Amino acid sequence: MTTRLFGERVARSEDRRLLTGRGRYTGDFEPAAAHAAFVRSDFAHARITGIDVAAAQAVPGVLDVFTYADLADGFADRLPLLVPSDKLIAPRTQHALAKDEACYAGEVLAMVVARDRYVAEDALERIVVEYEPLPAAVDLDRAAGPNAPLAHLDMTDNLAGLVTEETGDVDAAFAAAPHVYDWTLRMERSASMPIETRGVVARYDEREDRLLVHDATQAPTGVRFGLAMLFGMDPDRVHVVAPDVGGGFGVKVIQFYPEEVLVPWAARRLGVPVKWIEDRREHFLGSNHERGQIHHVHVGAADDGRILALEDRFLHDTGAYCSYGLILPIITAAQLPGPYDLENYRYELRSIFTNTVPTSPFRGAGRPHAAYVMERVIERVSKELNLDSLDVRRRNFVKEFPHHVGVTFQDGGPTVYDSGDYPKGLATLLEQLDLERTRTEIATARAEGRTVGLGFGAYVEGTGIGPYEGASVSINPDGTVSVATAHGSQGQAHETVFAQVVADELQVPFERVHVTTGDTRRLGFGVGTFASRTAVVAGNAVLLATTEVKRQAAAVAARILEVAPEDVVFADGAIHVAGAPDRSIPLGRLAMASNPTRYAFGADAEEGAKLSQLAYEGGDRPLPEGSHPGLAATEYYSPTSGVFGFGFHAALVEIDLETGHVDILRYVVHHDSGRIINPMVVEGQIHGGVAQGIGGALYERIAYGEEGQMLNATFMDFLMVTAAEMPRIEEVHTETPSPNNPLGIKGVGEAGTIPVSATIANAISDALNTPVDHMPVTPEEVLTLAGKIESP
Amino acid sequence: MDVTLSVNGVSRTASVEPRITLADVLRDELGLTGTHVGCEHGVCGACTVLLDGRSVRSCLLFAVQAAGQEVTTVEGLAAADGTLHPLQKAFHDAHGLQCGFCTPGFLMAARELLDENPSPTESEVRTWLSGNLCRCTGYQNIVDAVLLAAERMRGAP
Ligand code: FES
Ligand code: FES
Question: Which pLDDT belongs to residue B135?
Answer: 97
Q: Could you tell me which residues come within 8 angstroms of residue A376 by beta carbon, excluding any fewer than 6 positions away? A: A183, A185, A758, A761, A762, A765, A771, A772, A773
**Based on the domain organization, do A460 and A477 belong to the same domain?**
no
pLDDT, tens only, A453-503: 999 999 998 887 778 888 999 999 899 999 998 887 888 888 999 999 999
Last residue of a domain, which of B75, B96, B127? B75
**Based on the domain organization, do B63 and B37 belong to the same domain?**
yes
Q: Is-contact A97 A262, C-beta < 8 A? A: yes
Q: Is-contact A33 A704, C-beta < 8 A? A: no
Question: Which pLDDT belongs to residue A39?
Answer: 98
**Based on the domain organization, do B117 and B69 belong to the same domain?**
no
CA of A196 to the centre of ligand 1 (A): 11
B149 domain-assigned: yes
**Based on the domain organization, do B107 and B148 belong to the same domain?**
yes
Give the Cα separation of A354 and A293 in Å (integer).
12
CA of A492 to the centre of ligand 2 (A): 11
B61 domain-assigned: yes
Q: Domain of B48: which CATH number?
A: 3.10.20.30
**Based on the domain organization, do A436 and A536 belong to the same domain?**
no
Q: Is-contact A59 A122, C-beta < 8 A? A: yes
Number of domains chain B contains: 2
Give the Cα separation of A148 and A162 in Å (integer).
18
- Which residues are A455's β-sheet partners? A651
DSSP state for residue A149 in the 8-state scheme = P
pLDDT, tens only, A620-645: 667 777 788 889 999 988 887 778 89
A513 domain-assigned: yes
Phi and psi for A102 in degrees, rounded to 5? -105, 130
Give the Cα separation of A471 and A513 in Å (integer).
14
| A729–B140 C-beta distance less than 8 A | yes
Question: Which pLDDT belongs to residue A224?
Answer: 94
Neighbours of B112 (CB within 10 A): 17
Domain of residue B101 covers 86-154
**Based on the domain organization, do A577 and A653 belong to the same domain?**
no
List the one residue out of A215, A216, A220 whose CA is nearest residue A264.
Answer: A215
Give chain B positions within 8 Å (CB) of A716: 41, 43
Q: Is-contact A541 A637, C-beta < 8 A? A: yes
The beta-carbon neighbor of B139 closest among A24, A118, A691 is A691
Asked if pLDDT for residue B125 goes beyond 80, the answer is yes
Last residue of a domain, which of A596, A619, A637? A637
- DSSP tally for chain A: helices H, then strands E: 20, 29
**Based on the domain organization, do B7 and B43 belong to the same domain?**
yes
Torsion angle defined by CA atoms of residues A599, A600, A604 and A606, in that order, rounded to the nearest 10 degrees: 40
Q: Is-contact A392 A381, C-beta < 8 A? A: yes
Give the Cα separation of B21 and A476 in Å (integer).
45
**Based on the domain organization, do A311 and A262 belong to the same domain?**
no
Task: Report helix, strand and coil shares of chain A as percent, to nearest 5.
Answer: 30, 25, 40
A84 domain-assigned: yes
B33 domain-assigned: yes
**Based on the domain organization, do A440 and A486 belong to the same domain?**
no
Question: Which pLDDT belongs to residue A620?
Answer: 63
Peptide bond before A639: cis, by omega within 30 degrees of 0?
no
**Based on the domain organization, do A280 and A409 belong to the same domain?**
no
Q: Domain of A274: which CATH number?
A: 3.90.1170.50
Burial label for A2, CB within 10 Å (0-12, 13-18, 19+), is exposed
**CA dihedral over A715, A718, A724, A729, signed as positive or negative:** negative
Q: Is-contact A50 A108, C-beta < 8 A? A: no
Give the Cα separation of A311 and A553 in Å (integer).
57
A660 domain-assigned: yes
Last residue of a domain, which of B75, B97, B128? B75
**Based on the domain organization, do B6 and B56 belong to the same domain?**
yes
Beta pairing class for A159-167 and A414-417: unpaired
A791 domain-assigned: no
Q: In what order do the strands lie in the sheet with A643-655?
A: A451-463, A643-655, A662-672, A729-733
Neighbours of A95 (CB within 10 A): 21
**Based on the domain organization, do B63 and B103 belong to the same domain?**
no
Instruction: For chain B, say whether A729 makes contact (Cβ under 8 Å).
Output: yes
Last residue of a domain, which of A228, A262, A286? A286
The beta-carbon neighbor of A19 closest among B84, B130, B135 is B84
B80 domain-assigned: no
Q: Could you tell me which residues come within 8 angstroms of residue A500 by beta carbon, excluding any fewer than 6 positions away? A: A5, A6, A8, A10, A510, A677, A678
Q: In what order do the strands lie in the sheet with A62-66?
A: A62-66, A108-114, A34-40, A274-277, A199-205, A210-215, A238-241
Last residue of a domain, which of B75, B103, B120? B75
Instruction: For chain B, say whether A723 makes contact (Cβ under 8 Å).
Output: yes
Domain of residue A70 covers 18-134+196-246+252-286
Over residues B66-93, the mean pLDDT reads 96
Asked if pLDDT for residue B157 goes beyond 60, the answer is no
Give the Cα separation of A97 and A483 in Å (integer).
39
**Based on the domain organization, do B104 and B70 belong to the same domain?**
no
Question: Which pLDDT belongs to residue A756?
Answer: 97
- Interface mutation vs chain B, best among A20, A244, A717, most B CBs within 10 Å: A20
Q: Nearest-CA distance from B157 to chain A in Å?
A: 25
**Based on the domain organization, do A525 and A423 belong to the same domain?**
no
Give the Cα separation of A421 and A115 in Å (integer).
60
Q: Which segments of chain A have a pLDDT < 70?
A: 1, 531-532, 534, 596-601, 605, 618-621, 791-792
**Based on the domain organization, do A570 and A716 belong to the same domain?**
no
CA angle A21, A26, A29 (to 5 degrees): 80
A525 domain-assigned: yes
Q: Domain of A581: which CATH number?
A: 3.30.365.10
Distances (CA, A) of B64 to A146, B4, B5, B21, B46: 58, 8, 9, 8, 20
List the one residue out of B117, B121, B107, B37 whose CA is nearest residue B72.
Answer: B107
A218 domain-assigned: yes
**Based on the domain organization, do B6 and B65 belong to the same domain?**
yes
Q: In what order do the strands lie in the sheet with A101-102?
A: A101-102, A46-52, A128-133
Q: Nearest-CA distance from B94 to chain A in Å?
A: 8
Q: Is-contact A167 A345, C-beta < 8 A? A: yes
CA of A155 to the centre of ligand 2 (A): 42
B118 domain-assigned: yes
3-state SS class at A634: strand
3-state SS class at A187: strand
A183 domain-assigned: no
**Based on the domain organization, do B43 and B99 belong to the same domain?**
no
CA atoms within 13 A on the CB side of A730: 16
Cβ B97 under 6 angstroms from ligand 2: yes
Asked if pLDDT for residue B109 goes beyond 90, the answer is yes
B62 domain-assigned: yes
Question: Which pLDDT belongs to residue A676?
Answer: 87
Return the amino acid letter for A6: F
Give the Cα separation of A661 and A760 in Å (integer).
13
**Based on the domain organization, do A236 and A119 belong to the same domain?**
yes
B81 domain-assigned: no
B94 domain-assigned: yes
Q: Whole-prediction pTM value?
A: 0.95
**Based on the domain organization, do A412 and A546 belong to the same domain?**
no
A4 domain-assigned: no
**Based on the domain organization, do A230 and A314 belong to the same domain?**
no
Asked if pLDDT for residue B143 goes beyond 80, the answer is yes
Phi and psi for A653 in degrees, rounded to 5? -120, 155
Q: Domain of B109: which CATH number?
A: 1.10.150.120
Question: Which pLDDT belongs to residue A600?
Answer: 64
Number of domains chain A contains: 3
Give the Cα separation of A683 and A706 in Å (integer).
41
Q: Nearest-CA distance from B143 to chain A in Å?
A: 8
- Which residues are A36's β-sheet partners? A113
Reported in sequence order, the residue ranges of B54-116 that DSSP labels E, i.e. its strands, are: 54-57, 70-72
Neighbours of A386 (CB within 10 A): 7
**Based on the domain organization, do A584 and A722 belong to the same domain?**
no
**Based on the domain organization, do B35 and B62 belong to the same domain?**
yes
